[in-house]
């Protein structure tokens, strides 16, 4: 069974704090993704990575950075948290699209981040 | 223009009803299409792929219309357990990015 885990289910931080969200997958997936999900806006891609140390900007990368030092781990960093970054953050992983099974993304349970 | 657009609903239908959702996409070169399901306070999970010829999985039927650039999901004989948000997903023919719609909320009422 594929498992994607995220370091926290709920997190409360203050404006200006540096925030780390960790994601780990155990299926040897090449691709990893960070999304945020907000009511009415759906899932929006922040960053994705298709290999160790590789990263690509998604639709809303401003205010975020990422790190992928190991294949199984993908971290999302909020350098200086702001109230408009209050959201549900979802991590996902998949094989390469052209690989068998690559069309399916597996999601972690999400981290509900509140920035006060 | 958004890559993928969905009617957010909500759709409130009685048990046993048939309900259909549509989703339009803007990139005519898009290659792969899927429906995901997201239960309340849970993560999205793959429901089914959408093939050009249409495909069926029990009470669920997915169809693709390339000419009009939309995909559809039909649910027959709705159950209470079908209550969820249904997300359409489009993958372009280049790159590794998935494009999610905003989701359509379905509530099946007894």
Q: Positive or negative CA dihedral for B104, B90, A73, A30?
A: positive
From the list B8, B43, B46, the residue facing A104 with the nearest CB is: B46
Under-50 pLDDT residues of chain B: none
Q: How far is A111 from chain B (nearest CA, A)?
A: 10
Enumerate residues 6+ apart whose C-beta is below 8 A from B15.
Answer: B78, B79, B80, B108, B109, B110
Q: How far is A104 from chain B (nearest CA, A)?
A: 7
Answer whether A36's CB lies under 8 Å from A49's CB: no
Mean pLDDT of A3-19: 95
Query: Where is average pLDDT lowest: A83-97, A99-113, B69-83?
Result: A99-113
From the list A31, A56, A90, the residue facing B43 with the nearest CB is: A90
Q: How many CB atoms lie within 10 A of CB B66?
A: 12
- Chain A interface test: which of B10, B102, B105 (most A C-beta within 10 Å): B102
Region for residue A16 given its phi and psi (left: phi exceeds 0; alpha: psi -120 to 50; beta: otherwise): left
pLDDT at A5: 96
Q: Which residue has better confidence, A62 or A41?
A: A62
Tell me what percent of chain B is helix, strand and coil, each rounded to the nearest 5: 5, 55, 45
CB B44 to CB A97 under 8 A? no
pLDDT at residue A96 greater than cutoff 90: no
pLDDT at A99: 65
* Separation between Cα atoms, residue A30 and residue A68, nearest integer Å: 11
pLDDT at B40: 92
From the list B42, B49, B103, the residue facing A42 with the nearest CB is: B103
């Amino acid at each position: 069974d594929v498992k994607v885990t995220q370091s926290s289910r709920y997190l409360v931080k203050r404006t200006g704090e540096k925030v780390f969200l960790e994601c780990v997958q155990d299926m040897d997936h090449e691709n990893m993704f960070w999304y945020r999900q907000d009511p009415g806006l759906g899932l929006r891609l922040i960053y994705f990575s298709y290999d160790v140390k590789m990263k690509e900007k998604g639709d809303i990368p401003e205010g975020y950075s990422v790190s992928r030092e190991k294949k199984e781990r993908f971290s999302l960093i909020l350098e200086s948290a702001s109230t408009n970054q209050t959201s549900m953050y979802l991590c996902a992983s998949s094989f390469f699209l052209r690989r068998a099974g690559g069309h399916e993304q597996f999601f972690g349970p999400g981290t509900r981040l509140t920035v006060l | 223009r958004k890559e993928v657009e969905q009617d957010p609903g909500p759709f409130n239908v009685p048990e046993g009803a048939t309900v259909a959702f549509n989703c339009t996409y803007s990139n005519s070169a898009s290659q792969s299409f899927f429906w995901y399901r997201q239960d309340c306070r849970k993560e999205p999970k793959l429901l089914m792929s959408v093939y050009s010829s249409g495909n069926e999985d029990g009470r669920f039927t997915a169809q693709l219309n390339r000419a009009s650039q939309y995909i559809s999901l039909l649910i027959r004989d709705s159950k209470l357990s079908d209550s969820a948000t249904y997300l359409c997903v489009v993958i372009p023919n280049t790159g590794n990015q998935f494009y999610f719609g905003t989701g359509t909320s379905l509530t099946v009422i007894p």
